[in-house]
Amino acid sequence: PSLSKVLILVTVSSGGLVAYSDSKSHHGVNGADSSQIDTTKKKRVLVLGTGWAGTTFLKNLDSSTYDVHVVSPRNYFAFTPLLPSVTCGTVEARSIVEPIRNIIRKKNGDISFWEAECFKIDAKNKKVHCRSSQQENLEGKEEFIVDYDYLVIAMGARANTFNTPGVEENCHFLKEVEDAQNIRRSVIDCFERSCLPNLSEEERKKNLHFVVVGGGPTGVEFAAELHDFVREDLVKLYPTAKDLVKITLLEAGDHILNMFDKRITAFAEEKFQREGIDLRTGSMVIKVTDKEISTKERVNGEISSIPYGMVVWSTGIGTRPVIMDFMRQIGQTNRRVLATDEWLRVEGCDSIYALGDCATINQRKVMEDISAIFNKADKDKSGTLTLKEFQDALNDICERYPQVELYLKNKQVKNIIDLMKDRQGNDNKESVELDIEGFKSALSQVDSQMKFLPATAQVAAQEGKYLARCFNEMEEREKNPEGPPRFRGTGRHRFRPFRYKHLGQFAPLGGEQTAAQLPGDWVSIGHSSQWLWYSVYASKQVSWRTRMLVVTDWTRRFVFGRDSSRI
């Protein structure tokens, strides 16, 4: 197919801009006359991003029926859940990545890939502006325009600094493979620097002070990995560092791992304290300089500064500038992520789909869904529910939208969650009515920033698979546009709406112990869950090649320990 491509060069005032067209699709360049469109040609699907959402979509798409193009600044898929293991050399960076060309080769070459980043989406003209992610040449970076029939935005998110001064310049993030590699080098740097002969004790301590900001799963897992690396490998090689090394974990909220069951949170906090990790909850970072990190205590407003050797910033996700620009263009302002309907179509843009970390299902739709669950639970249509019915309905809602549970927890609407958790059948209708009102008013205050589905690989992958299935059936459904009777009606889509199925989550805590929280409030913490973690993560690898590499890395670590060379 690559031979059939025709590249047309268009010179514009900003420099050499290349517009892409292709003889096998019907696309013109810079707004071709739509009357000339040959509808017998395949429709072009343009996918932006090769992360969890984009790659799962590609793997499941029947690419023979579309003209598929992929644009991403990295030519590989990265298994992000193992990134914390890369920071300390438990697994190697190359073991967790799969070249995207390997994945598309298995699709009989029906897909083409360009290593570039999209910097502008022009929804009105159905065009995407891209720029090569290769090093700049003399004329600047190569730019080109691609047109599309369907656009799939799966560009993920970037690290969120909350505009805290000095974070961009002085902290490490843990989002990409390069970040994990930089952290690994930086850890060893700190240890080597601390051994230099001309340093005072204070300077050695400063170099060996590792600060992790953010008590979410990534921050906690990194702190645990680092603690293991230091205890199991580094102190043997740097004996003088043994009593000087310190790990501090800063969390602005009251607890770490606040999206997990409170038993897991309590276990993790106790474990960290026992192992000497300085856990400081209620501590908000207000500034980072090249030498110190300043925090403000939430309780008493006290400000303090701590010298550090290395800081890793892991406080959640923020919006990519290109997505922000696109949201402004389509009137989705004041939002953190793109709002889609339940079919993952960007609200107001029929042929644009968004999935993964850069998107969320619109709040209005979620509220409709929640009301429908309550209405269904109200079998006798009396307008009230028994406690049992109420608990079951809430359970349903929280399983479908795990973030609702987290939101309620954070807003201290604890009694509702406790009611749900206790599950003690009780027919006290009065209190239930009150709680339904409380619940509804709490939810109606959910701001438009809220992402109802968590920003996880699990959500992104399920969305990618769902959308691929819709695309695979598109032709069939177009012949029969009405679809099944229950989906008919204005504004409805031809497919079943997307439904997230929560399969549980892990929090590795170091020392070969993991916390696992599976659906139905099933919680397990300890060594057995660690083995479950190993099996799940080995099975979830995208190829046999990476599976072999990861398992070999784990075995190597068991036998020889982690490598501490600074390469």
Residues that bind ligand FAD (CB under 6 A): 48-54, 71-74, 80-81, 83-84, 117-118, 154-156, 174-175, 218, 320, 322, 356-358, 455-458, 460
CA–CA distance, 223 with 239 (Å, rounded to integer): 21
Cβ-based nearer residue to ligand FAD, 60 or 426: 60
Find the shortest distance in angstroms from Cβ 539 to ligand FAD: 14
Find the shortest distance in angstroms from Cβ 57 to ligand FAD: 9
Closest-CB residue for ligand FAD? 51
- Please give the torsion angle defined by the CA atoms of residues 195, 197, 203 and 206, in that order, rounded to the nearest 10 degrees: -10
Q: Do residues 387 and 426 lie in contact, with contact meaning Cβ atoms separated by under 8 Å?
A: yes
CA–CA distance, 536 with 301 (Å, rounded to integer): 43
Cβ-based nearer residue to ligand FAD, 309 or 508: 508
Q: Do residues 72 and 50 lie in contact, with contact meaning Cβ atoms separated by under 8 Å?
A: yes
- Please give the torsion angle defined by the CA atoms of residues 6, 12, 17 and 23, in that order, rounded to the nearest 10 degrees: -20
The one-letter amino acid code at 168 reads E
Cβ-based nearer residue to ligand FAD, 69 or 557: 69
Cβ-based nearer residue to ligand FAD, 68 or 118: 118
Q: Do residues 489 and 480 lie in contact, with contact meaning Cβ atoms separated by under 8 Å?
A: no
CA–CA distance, 290 with 169 (Å, rounded to integer): 8
Q: Write the DSSP assignment of 122-144 as a string of letters.
A: ETTTTEEEEEE-SPPBTTBS-EE
Question: Which residues, in sequence order, are bridge partners of residue 151?
Answer: 46, 352
Find the shortest distance in angstroms from Cβ 29 to ligand FAD: 21
As given in the structure block, the two tokens for residue 27 are 């696309």
Q: Find the farthest-apart pair of alpha carbons in the chain and give their distance in angstroms, rounded.
A: 80
CA–CA distance, 144 with 132 (Å, rounded to integer): 8
Compute the chain's Rg from CA coordinates.
26
As given in the structure block, the two tokens for residue 221 are 């897992």
Cβ-based nearer residue to ligand FAD, 82 or 188: 82
Find the shortest distance in angstroms from Cβ 73 to ligand FAD: 5
Side-chain-facing half-sphere of 245: CA atoms under 13 Å: 24
Find the shortest distance in angstroms from Cβ 426 to ligand FAD: 36
CA–CA distance, 7 with 309 (Å, rounded to integer): 51
CA–CA distance, 336 with 320 (Å, rounded to integer): 9
Find the shortest distance in angstroms from Cβ 115 to ligand FAD: 10
Find the shortest distance in angstroms from Cβ 371 to ligand FAD: 28
The one-letter amino acid code at 49 reads G
Find the shortest distance in angstroms from Cβ 123 to ligand FAD: 15
Find the shortest distance in angstroms from Cβ 310 to ligand FAD: 16
Three-state SS at 312: strand
**Beta-strand relationship, 15-22 and 5-12:** antiparallel
Cβ-based nearer residue to ligand FAD, 80 or 207: 80
Cβ-based nearer residue to ligand FAD, 157 or 385: 157
Find the shortest distance in angstroms from Cβ 217 to ligand FAD: 6
Secondary structure (H, E, C), 195-252: CCCCCCHHHHHHHCEEEEECCCHHHHHHHHHHHHHHHHHHHHHCHHHCCCCEEEEEEC
As given in the structure block, the two tokens for residue 55 are 């790659």
CA–CA distance, 1 with 4 (Å, rounded to integer): 5
Cβ-based nearer residue to ligand FAD, 131 or 206: 131
Find the shortest distance in angstroms from Cβ 84 to ligand FAD: 6
Cβ-based nearer residue to ligand FAD, 391 or 456: 456
Find the shortest distance in angstroms from Cβ 348 to ligand FAD: 21
Cβ-based nearer residue to ligand FAD, 288 or 323: 323
Cβ-based nearer residue to ligand FAD, 267 or 326: 326
Q: Do residues 45 and 66 lie in contact, with contact meaning Cβ atoms separated by under 8 Å?
A: yes
Cβ-based nearer residue to ligand FAD, 504 or 561: 504
Find the shortest distance in angstroms from Cβ 502 to ligand FAD: 10
Cβ-based nearer residue to ligand FAD, 458 or 529: 458
CA–CA distance, 148 with 422 (Å, rounded to integer): 51
